[in-house]
Amino acid sequence: MYFRFPSRLVRGSPQAQPLRTNQNRKKQQAANDDNRSKPESVLKELNGLIGLSEVKSLVSEVSAYVQIQRRREKALLHTEHLVLHMIFKGNPGTGKTTVARIMGKLLYSMEVLSQGQLIEVERADLVGEYIGHTAHKTREQIKKAMGGILFIDEAYSLARGGTKDFGKESIDVLVKAMEDYKQDFVLILAGYKGEMEWFLHSNPGLYSRFPIYITFPDYTVEELLQIGALMLKQRQYRLLPEARSALRKILEEKNRSGSENEGNARLVRNLIEKAIRRQAVRLVKRQRLTREELMLIRPEDFD
């Protein structure tokens, strides 16, 4: 399989430009090679995430597909052109942005993308206020994402204004970029499951351009407890058993309420950060504190 990356323009005199371009390319390539992780280490990072078993399986399929296409090329067999634009569907806090960032690292490690950066944008970053402004803003974001991934959260908002809305202009520019720069550019559209399905069916030409669809399920209460424990460990805190029970009770109550805006990892993070602040208030007036006391989160810190 052949991957052709866009050439970079170098300013300077006509005589010096070819030599300088070659030198810069060699330096950039050397720097990229030094910083490039191995695919196995990136997949290990993905597999270290809590839950997301179906997501991990699909990402592993993408990795295997890329590797086998490379082997087929070496064996002089027919290879499929890689088109890796993706749709991420799921509620907030289900890991969509985290997985997109890891996907950029993975495709970079496999030399599918030349840089692997993740550029996160929303409607306001793409849509302008007058004719022609939207196309310019959208192209600027595509330019930033070249060599990596452009991640558009709540992508369905681009089609909410109807046919006369400037969001349609942004979609048209994105569709063109998906085809023109597919060798070194990946577009990921993300948002709520229902809204994303409406968005894709509202534009029949858009649906067929995305070969990869990943649904991010809500976390179970047990998975959320594991996420909370990991967040605390990273901050050098830990829960008393009674505090874990208090956190579980809150998560179960929130889970029963069924609010898709408040759940998942964002809810856990907010609860953990609030508990840490309350622990600080509880301890701040004490003159002497042990290391253990500074680490422990008690059940009253979740009240």
pLDDT in tens, the chain (303 residues): 333 333 333 334 344 444 454 555 555 555 555 567 898 999 999 999 999 998 999 899 988 988 898 899 999 999 877 889 999 999 999 999 999 999 999 999 999 999 999 999 999 999 988 777 899 999 999 999 999 999 999 999 998 776 567 888 899 899 999 999 988 999 999 999 999 999 988 777 788 889 999 999 999 999 999 999 999 999 999 999 999 999 999 999 888 876 655 678 999 999 999 999 999 999 999 999 999 999 999 999 998
Domain finish residue from 178, 199, 216: 216
Do 171 and 284 lie in one domain? The reply is no
Domain-embedded: residue 2: no
Tell me, yes or no, whether 250 lies in a domain: yes
* Domain span at 175: 17-216
CATH number at residue 282: 1.10.8.60
The answer to whether residue 3 is domain-embedded is: no
The number of distinct structural domains making up the chain is 2
Same domain, 77 and 195: yes
Do the domain assignments include residue 7?
A: no
pTM of structure: 0.81
Q: Are residues 165 and 241 in the same domain?
A: no
Residues 269 and 152 in one domain: no
SS3 track for the chain: CCCCCCCCCCCCCCCCHHHHHHHHHHHHHHHHHHHCCCHHHHHHHHHCCCCCHHHHHHHHHHHHHHHHHHHHHHCCCCCCCCCCCEEEEECCCCCHHHHHHHHHHHHHHCCCCCCCCEEEECHHHHCCCCCCHHHHHHHHHHHHHCCCEEEECCHHHHHCCCCCCCHHHHHHHHHHHHHHCCCCCEEEEEECHHHHHHHHHHCHHHHCCCCEEEEECCCCHHHHHHHHHHHHHHCCCEECHHHHHHHHHHHHHHHHHCCCCCCHHHHHHHHHHHHHHHHHHHHCCCCCCCHHHHHEECHHHHC
Question: What pLDDT is attached to residue 4?
Answer: 34
Q: Which of 171, 200, 216 is the last residue of a domain?
A: 216
